[in-house]
Amino acid sequence: MWGSFAASIAVNIAGAVYKSSGVKCGKDTAVIGKMKDLNNYQLKPGEYRVADMLPDLGSPKANWHQNSGVLRNIMKTGNPIRDVSAYPMSNAGFLGAERNLLLSRGWTYSKGFWILGG
């Protein structure tokens, strides 16, 4: 249930445009990163943590299935995605898998953001 609810929220993200670090962002900007970094990051107006949309489903396989589905739906908006962790990093775990998904779908990293086709 939570996975489909989170996915429906992600699909409906849209809105006004503002500038941040020279990157054109949507009104609702998704934020990804290692949990330690996300917990230390102060969200800016219009930002939300993707992790907050991902309840623990009890296994890494189920969690990744949920995570990748939500992230793919967020990617459909075309809005830049803020990454609050160091890039690149070794041993990035789920964040590394998220970054690989972004890279495999034509997104590029620039100045703390993932940008479609950048």
In 3D space, the residue among 76, 83, 62 whose CA is nearest the CA of residue 116 turns out to be 76
| Contact present, 52 and 9 (Cβ < 8 Å) | no
H or E stretch covering 10: helix 2-11
Give 20-39 pLDDT, tens digit per residue. 344 555 568 999 999 999 99
pTM: 0.78
| Contact present, 27 and 14 (Cβ < 8 Å) | yes
Give 35-51 pLDDT, tens digit per residue. 999 999 999 999 999 99
